[in-house]
Amino acid sequence: MSVFQNATFYTTVGELRDLPVSVGVEIAFAGRSNAGKSSAINALANRNRLAFVSKTPGRTQHLNFFRLGNDRFLVDLPGYGYAKVPAEVRQHWERLLGTYLQTRQSLHGMVLIMDIRHPLTPLDRQMLAWFAPTKKAVHVLLTKSDKLTRQQGQKVLKTVRGFLRESYPQCSVQLFSSTSREGVEEVSALLDTWFVSGIDPDTGVLGEAGASESNKGDAPETPNAGNKKPPVKGE
């Protein structure tokens, strides 16, 4: 059974000081608003409402942590590129997301959600470019694959895979549908290996990237990395 089926809500974070102590292994889920991120999380967990699916895209405004057992966490990030917000709120999100994604020691990798009908948007490319300097794994889910014919889906998959191989070789990609459940077992198996590889087999704790933070939420400023900020709401 996939570890995702053990998922329970753990905490929600709106300020850096509220981040849990960085132990274990975390996998972040990111994506453009309305690309199907919450539905993908619910499909992996085999739940209807583990992650809230809003009729108003862009409503999630915090980092939501879900415990999967044994110091393993799924982290649902705010969707980007939809909600219009004041400049000061946008700056707050940039710092929160930026510091978390680029300095979080227990973060093993990121699942990037893209609507198969609109893949590789400018904000998706910005996120890839911005996260690449961490050298952590990225797996792209081309969601809503049931909206296309199999031939159309395979064509999009080939195009996106070619772009990633040329520009971001640490990235992988697959088709996914929370409706037909295409790709659910595939991504579950992959992310199970991420969780296992992030744990030191001798100590049972996070290995190379995983020394604990001494102070809860006490993280440095976001470093520059190509694009100087992550994509956020309102851009």
Please check whether residue 223 lies inside any domain of the structure: no
Please check whether residue 60 lies inside any domain of the structure: yes
Query: What strands lie across the sheet with 8-13, from one edge to the other?
Result: 8-13, 63-69, 72-76, 25-31, 107-115, 137-143, 171-175
Domain holding 189: CATH number? 3.40.50.300
Please check whether residue 70 lies inside any domain of the structure: yes
Please check whether residue 215 lies inside any domain of the structure: no
- Indicate the pairing of strand 137-143 with strand 107-115: parallel
Tell me if 67 sits within 8 A of 10, measured CB to CB: yes
Please check whether residue 216 lies inside any domain of the structure: no
Per-residue tens of pLDDT for the chain, all 235 residues: 678 988 999 999 999 999 999 989 999 999 998 899 999 999 999 987 786 644 444 446 789 999 998 899 999 998 887 666 677 877 888 888 889 999 999 999 999 999 999 999 999 999 999 899 999 999 999 999 999 999 999 999 999 999 999 999 999 999 999 999 999 999 999 999 999 887 554 444 444 443 333 333 333 333 344 455 778 655 5
Residue 24 to residue 107: CA distance in whole angstroms: 9
Residue 121 to residue 130: CA distance in whole angstroms: 14
Residue 37 to residue 186: CA distance in whole angstroms: 16
Please check whether residue 108 lies inside any domain of the structure: yes
By residue range, what is the domain housing residue 30?
A: 3-197
Residue 132 to residue 83: CA distance in whole angstroms: 25
Please check whether residue 217 lies inside any domain of the structure: no
Total domains in the fold of the chain? 1
Please check whether residue 189 lies inside any domain of the structure: yes
